[in-house]
Chains A and B, each alone.
Chain A
Amino acid sequence: MTDNSQDWPLYEIFIRARSGLDHKHVGSLHATDARMAIEHARDLYTRRQEGVSIWAVRSSDIVASDPADADTLFEPARDKVYRHPTFYDIPDEVKTL
């Protein structure tokens, strides 16, 4: 296309629904700079009071794990059942434990 909008970087948008909650990823949008990203995010993702705070992060700045590494990264935790409270057998008469 004969347009230069391909230069508009992609931003990932995170919204805090209300204070006390984490920012949650809601989607992405294109903007020329951070300020525009915030303004567009407001129009796009908070038209019905869905948020009280917005984070915009350049998509290219996000480092992600590779799904192919999921086994090596997450598998080792699977046999460590002793990390969970239910692993331990405590008689019923012992209360508040």
Chain B
Amino acid sequence: MRRDSGVDLYTQGLDSLGKDCLRDEAEESGTFEQRFQTRVDAEEKIEPKDWMPEAYRRTLIRQISQHAHSEIVGMLPEGNWITRAPSLLRKTILIAKVQDEGGHGAYLYSATETLGVSRDELIGQLLEGKAKYSSIFNYPTPTWADVGAIGWLVDGAAIMNQVPLCRCSYGPYARAMVRICKEESFHQRQGYEIMMRLSRGTTAQKDMAQQALNRWWWPSLMMFGPSDAESKHSAQSMRWKIKRFSNDELRQKFVDYTVPQAEFLGLTIPDPDLRRDEAAQHYRFGTIDWNEFEQVLKGHGPCNRERLEARRRAHDEGRWVRDAAIAHAAKQAARKNSRAA
């Protein structure tokens, strides 16, 4: 099985860069191409109006928009708990966190637009079910502990991936990632704190935390995308300095950071094969169920349908507000014009 996975995590479903892209690229002037690569090699940033290979542009549009969609859909599993958060403080924290994710989506749509595609087109693709977003957001959040597990593991995995993206060769994407990374640490820490409270609580609470870890552990590892052996276009993304580390490298780093955090909580990682490799200074982990990953990406995860329906409903129910805003702006403009006349 070969799959394009030049990007990872929030954009793990990327399947662009077909033969047509590569052909277009070859047709473009070799000198421009060389000059472009020289700039990238020298760690110079590429800005919107600079010449860039068509395949680079298309890869970025696909990657950044999938990332944006993931932020937006990612508001849903946690949004599920806003009305039922266990205290007013937890509720305000969760609202702030979910609002941040909406902001991340907005920064990333802006960055995508600098590549010559409109936001409406991108949002249209999401609502029509044509766009991909991270598989992780298609899992349910049946308990409050899931909110803790998401912050700790899902935002934790996101940070692992997003920090290197701050040095991405495309300026607007890199700048959006800097802004996003500044906000992510709070997300992870509030999640870990929820897990800490629960694991120090009653037996029932500790059990709830363990169950949530059981649910989110493997899907979190899948967030890094297919293994390197399956990642056909990783090399090109690395050459363009869109990607800095391979999927497996980042996944390993995540496991190495996270296992001691689970131990501190007194929780058990749901992997019987997990063991410490002292010589290599790594935790070795069991085999990921790539079939599950494939199924979720194809739309057959536990909540794929529910997520898209929620997005569509929100879009439809907000239509009157958008219409009113446009009508108001038109009226104001007309009034201004008539005064000027």
A53 adjacent to chain B (CB < 8 Å): no
B275 CB to nearest chain A CB (Å): 41
Contact call A10/B120, Cβ cutoff below 8 A: no
Contact call B120/A66, Cβ cutoff below 8 A: no
Which size class do B's interface residues fall under?
20 to 34
B163 adjacent to chain A (CB < 8 Å): no
With the chains together, A35 CA to B229 CA distance in Å?
Answer: 51
B326 adjacent to chain A (CB < 8 Å): yes
Of A10, A33, A66, most buried by chain B (CB within 10 Å of CB) is: A33
Of A1, A33, A64, most buried by chain B (CB within 10 Å of CB) is: A1
A4 with B323, Cβ < 8 A, contacts A47-B100, A47-B103 known? yes
List of A residues within 8 angstroms of B304 by Cβ: none
List of A residues within 8 angstroms of B176 by Cβ: 27
List of B residues within 8 angstroms of A64 by Cβ: 49
B17 adjacent to chain A (CB < 8 Å): no
A6 to chain B: closest residue by CB: B120
Contact call B123/A1, Cβ cutoff below 8 A: yes
B 52-94 to A, binary, CB cutoff 8 A, 1 in contact else 0: 0000000000000000000000000000000000000000000
B23-31, B105-113, B265-273: which lies at the A interface? Answer: B105-113
B115 adjacent to chain A (CB < 8 Å): no
Contact call A32/B325, Cβ cutoff below 8 A: yes
With the chains together, A67 CA to B176 CA distance in Å?
Answer: 22
A79 adjacent to chain B (CB < 8 Å): no
List of B residues within 8 angstroms of A67 by Cβ: 47, 49-51
With the chains together, A23 CA to B188 CA distance in Å?
Answer: 31
B313 adjacent to chain A (CB < 8 Å): no
A25 to chain B: closest residue by CB: B175
Which size class do A's interface residues fall under?
20 to 34
Interface of B is mostly: helix
A33 with B323, Cβ < 8 A, contacts A47-B99, A64-B49 known? no
List of A residues within 8 angstroms of B99 by Cβ: 43, 47
B143 adjacent to chain A (CB < 8 Å): no
With the chains together, A75 CA to B306 CA distance in Å?
Answer: 57
B277 adjacent to chain A (CB < 8 Å): no
With the chains together, A38 CA to B47 CA distance in Å?
Answer: 25
With the chains together, A47 CA to B250 CA distance in Å?
Answer: 30
With the chains together, A50 CA to B183 CA distance in Å?
Answer: 12
B93 CB to nearest chain A CB (Å): 13
With the chains together, A69 CA to B153 CA distance in Å?
Answer: 48
Contact call A36/B325, Cβ cutoff below 8 A: yes
List of A residues within 8 angstroms of B326 by Cβ: 4-5, 7-8, 32
A13 to chain B: closest residue by CB: B110
List of A residues within 8 angstroms of B175 by Cβ: 27
Contact call A33/B329, Cβ cutoff below 8 A: yes
A3 to chain B: closest residue by CB: B120
Can you show 5 pairs from A to B with CB atoms below 8 A apart? A4-B322, A29-B106, A36-B329, A47-B99, A47-B100
Given A6-B120, A43-B103, A67-B51, 13 further pairs, Cβ under 8 A: A1-B120, A1-B121, A4-B322, A4-B326, A8-B326, A27-B176, A32-B328, A32-B329, A33-B332, A43-B99, A44-B103, A47-B103, A66-B49
Q: What residues make up the interface of B, taking CB atoms closer than 8 Å to A?
A: 47, 49-51, 96, 99-100, 103, 106-107, 110, 113, 118-121, 123-124, 127, 175-176, 179, 183, 319, 322-323, 325-326, 328-329, 332-333
